[in-house]
Each structure stands twice: as C-alpha cells, then as structure tokens.
Amino acid sequence: MKQYDPSAFSGLDLLNLLNGLPHGVVLIDNEGRIVSANRIFEAVTGYAANDVRGVGCDFVLRANPDIKKSILESTFDTVEILSLEGDIINVNRKKALVRFFVSPLNSQNGKKIGYMVAVEDITALKAHDRQRQGLSEAKGILGHSPKMQEILDFMPILARTDTTLLITGETGTGKDLLAEAIHHESKRASYPFIKVNCGALPETLLESELFGHVRGAYTGAHSDKPGMFRLAQGGTLFLTEIGDLPLALQVKLLTVLDDREFFPLGSSKKVQVDVRLITGTNRDLRQMVKDGTFREDLYYRLNVLRAHLPALRERGDDTTLLLDHFVKLFSTSLGKDIKGFSEETMAELTRYAYPGNVRELRNIVEYAVNVCPGERITPAHLPTYIHAPTVSTQPASQSARVEDGERQGDGRNALPPVPSEMNFAQGSTWSEIEKGQILAALMKTGGNRSLAAIQLGWGRSTLWRKIKRYALD
C-alpha cells in the first residue's frame, strides 16, 4: 500500500474539481466578476467560461434577486454560507427556479479573494411539490378545519422568515411535522433539519448534545463532538420539549440566540453558527415563567413567532379525514385490502376524544388495520380502551394545556381513554387517573414502555416524562 500523502492534493486541478460537482458553480472576485465556472454553469447560462471571464456575474446569471448586489451587500460576518432563492432566465429563454449558495473564498493567508456561487436548479423540485396537493399534504399535515387552515395559511409566512418560532400544542398534535414542513419550505431546506428532545437527556449530556464538546471536556469525552447546533449549520434546529430545558442551559441558549455564537464544552474557542431555531412544547411556558422554572427573557425570545396546533377534538371533521387517510396508508403499507370502517366503528371513532390527538388516532388505526382480517374495520378490531367508560373532561395531561389551547365544548371532548381494567373513584384528580392509566398500560404490556406508549397514544418521550413526574420508575 502506498504511503498516505495529503500534500499531493496541494496541486489539485480546481476546474476539474468544480466539474465534478452536481450544480453550476462559478468563482467570482471581490467585485463580482467571473474568474472561473464549471461545465454545468456553462450549460445553464449558455456562455463558455472563457468567454465571460471578467464579466459581472449578474449579467451572465440574469438572476432575480440580483445575485451580485446580494453578495456585495452581505458582510459574511456571522454567516458562512449565504443562501438565496430566486429565478434566472436561462439560455433557452426559460425562467428556472434556482437556489444560490454563496460562500466567501479566502487565500491561505486569510485574505478574502472572492466568492464561490453554486446554482441549484429547483424547478423540477418545486413543480413536484405543487403536484402533491399543496404544501401541507406533501409534508404529511392534513386538515380542512378552520383552525388547521389558519395554520396552513400561515405556514408560507413562517417558512419565509428566519425568526425564532415557538410551536405549541398538546402531545400528538404534530408539532414535529409542522417544524419539519416549515424547514422544507424555507430557503434552508437543502441544509439539515435537526431535532433535539430537551426532555430526553440529563443536563450535562444535553449541553454536550446541543453545543458539542472538545476532547477531554469531561470524563468519557474521548473525542471532539460538534454538537447539534453546528451540525445544523445553515439549516434548522428544532428543540422539542423546550419546557424541559434546564435553567442553566436556558441561559446558554439565550446567549446563542443573541450572539449567534457559543463555546463548546471545554473549549476556549468560540463557534459561530447560522441556524434557524424552532422550539416546541406542550407545556404552558407562561405559567412556567410565573413559577420561576422558565426564564422570562428566553420565553420572549422564543415566542417571537408563535403557531398553536389545535387538539384533534377542536378540529371538527378532520377526524374523519385523518381516519380515512391512515386506513389507506396502513392498508397499503401492510399489503391489506381494507376499504374502510363500518358505520358503527366510524361513529365510535368520531365520538372518541383522542387525548393523544393525531398520534393516538394513527396508532388506533394502525392497530385496527393489523387486527382486521376482512375489508371493513368493525368495533371488534379497535383497541379495547376505546369502548371503556368515560371519567373526565380533562385532556391527556394537565401539563399539556397550553395557554391558547383552551377546550372547546363540542360534546366530544369528554372521552379520554381509560383502560377498562381501571375503575376510578368519583373525585379522582386527573393526575391520579393518568398515573393509573400508565400503570395499567405498563402492566398490560409486561413493563414494555414502547408498547405502553403506543397503547396510551403517546410518544415514548412523553411516557418517559410522565413516568418520571409520577415517580413510577
């Protein structure tokens, strides 16, 4: 085997490298004049690189917005890569939708010598998106109810901006889906979307998870770790269960939001990041601020833009829409030929309150499709707790109440799932009932938390959090 010799790369043929890239790439000087371009760029613009050397890139790209102006106006002080979306008129007189990625180029002595502009044609991508019955459905968010329509109408606005967004809503309402959909519709779509559950890790691990660490920062830190903020560079970081973020980390997060830079654990070197932050919670942050468990300044910083996802019981006929959607989905994925629900089943399912919201509905349908041997799902194919007597008008969790999420009394709200084995005395608090539900589910599943979470219609982290809260572990 030949010796490892990275110095061989010092004489790298730059144009050859650029030609290997899948997008049009042009190198420009500090005045925006073309220095070099790859073959795809030549194909897109119709100009040979040799012919346009020294020409302003705006004349050759013919872009809207004016790419040269955008580059020269950007300081690149806090941003490593400038991402722009727009259109160009290409060599065939066609308007092509494109995304530009601009990164400054420095010489070996650190002097800025120009910029690299990559041009990605996203016309086909956008057309494909449009074909898929609109943005929302493409990203798995369904809903025709006025409350959901409000959210869906608001989505393009949320996607266009870089402002911090707080998504609230009960457990299972689709906060993660919404965050991801917004990311995919934003100019950051080609960069990573990273989700971190703030409630799933102890404080020190969470700090390392978010901000990274250097080797030796603490016992067991055997190598450098970049952290999720750095991994999401250019993209979106979604911090779910933000209400569970420890106070010490709240301070650090606030600093990052203000300064766009931070020190990884154990490091004395600051790291700059360009990340859009979206946070999600099912807790009442305003109440937590009053209780002193959440920093007020951070609350206001996170709550610049706000989207509240309604509970399923507030979404009217969306329940039917979702039931039909998931039946088709699971029927296809499980290779079954299920046509739908019997009338009686549909009546029961539309009466049910779904305290676990869409996630619970999805799990119920998945269960039913698995169990049903025929073409129609009957009540016998539903999980038994659906048929159980009702006890309370409370939602799945009191902590799940968010300030905008007041109940709407439409008569269908009063039916949280209670395992038929449980028999609650009059006057039980919801916490007691919920604790009982968790115990019953754990007993039924032989202590298997994943199965218990499915049965309860919750995510695993929700169950884990509640187990912790009720000291059931």
Partner 1 sequence: MKILLTLRDNDVAPRFDLATEVLIVETDNNTPVGKPRNILLPGPSADELCSLIIKEGISLVVCGGIEEAHFEYLTWKKITVIDKVIGSIVEALRLAANGSLKSGAILRNSQGDKSL
In the complex, what is the shortest distance from the CB of residue 29 to partner 1, in angstroms, rounded to a whole number? Answer: 13
Residue from 81, 89, 138, 201 binding partner 1 (CB under 8 A): 89
Strand 165-168 and strand 305-308: the pairing is parallel
Q: Which is nearer to partner 1, 55 or 105 (CB)?
A: 55
In the complex, what is the shortest distance from the CB of residue 56 to partner 1, in angstroms, rounded to a whole number? Answer: 6
In the complex, what is the shortest distance from the CB of residue 74 to partner 1, in angstroms, rounded to a whole number? Answer: 19
Place of tokens 């790298």: 12
What is the C-alpha to C-alpha distance for residues 427 and 100, in angstroms, rounded to an integer?
62
Q: Which is nearer to partner 1, 93 or 111 (CB)?
A: 93
Stretch that binds partner 1, among 82-90, 156-164, 330-338, 459-467 (CB under 8 A): 82-90
Binding of partner 1 at residue 409 (CB under 8 A)?
no
Binding of partner 1 at residue 92 (CB under 8 A)?
yes
Residue from 60, 118, 167, 365 binding partner 1 (CB under 8 A): 60
Residue from 44, 49, 58, 249 binding partner 1 (CB under 8 A): 58
Residue from 51, 258, 261, 296 binding partner 1 (CB under 8 A): 51
Side chain identity at residue 105, one-letter code: L
Place of tokens 């420095």: 106
- Per the DSSP assignment, residues forming a β-bridge with 238 are 195, 278
Site for partner 1 in 18-47 (CB under 8 A): 33, 46-47
The interface mask with partner 1, positions 244-283, x = CB under 8 A, is ----------------------------------------
Task: Categorise residue 134: left if φ over 0, alpha if ψ from -120 to 50, beta otherwise.
Answer: left
Stretch that binds partner 1, among 91-99, 284-292, 403-411, 420-428 (CB under 8 A): 91-99
- What's the gap between Cα 286 and its chain centre? 23
- Give the tokens for residue 104: 């400054």
Q: Which is nearer to partner 1, 55 or 201 (CB)?
A: 55
Residue from 14, 20, 80, 95 binding partner 1 (CB under 8 A): 95
- The C-alpha angle 36, 37, 43, rounded to 5 degrees, equals 150
Q: Which is nearer to partner 1, 33 or 444 (CB)?
A: 33
In the complex, what is the shortest distance from the CB of residue 407 to partner 1, in angstroms, rounded to a whole number? Answer: 50
What is the C-alpha to C-alpha distance for residues 444 and 427, in angstroms, rounded to an integer?
25
In the complex, what is the shortest distance from the CB of residue 401 to partner 1, in angstroms, rounded to a whole number? Answer: 50
Q: What is the CA radius of gyration of the chain?
A: 27
Q: Which is nearer to partner 1, 60 or 239 (CB)?
A: 60
In the complex, what is the shortest distance from the CB of residue 52 to partner 1, in angstroms, rounded to a whole number? Answer: 7
Binding of partner 1 at residue 69 (CB under 8 A)?
no
- What's the gap between Cα 356 and its chain centre? 20
Longest dimension (CA), the chain: 85
Burial 40-75 (b: 16+ CB within 10 A, else e): bbbebbebebeebeeeebbebbbbeebbbebbeeee
Residue from 15, 55, 221, 329 binding partner 1 (CB under 8 A): 55
What are the helix and strand counts (H, E) for the chain?
Answer: 20, 15
Site for partner 1 in 118-157 (CB under 8 A): none
- The C-alpha angle 337, 341, 343, rounded to 5 degrees, equals 145
Q: With CA atoms as reference, report the closest residue to 249 among 275, 227, 282.
A: 227
In the complex, what is the shortest distance from the CB of residue 93 to partner 1, in angstroms, rounded to a whole number? Answer: 4
- Per the DSSP assignment, residues forming a β-bridge with 166 are 279, 306
Residue from 72, 91, 116, 125 binding partner 1 (CB under 8 A): 91
Residues engaged in binding partner 1 (CB under 8 A): 33, 46-47, 51-52, 54-56, 58-62, 64, 88-95
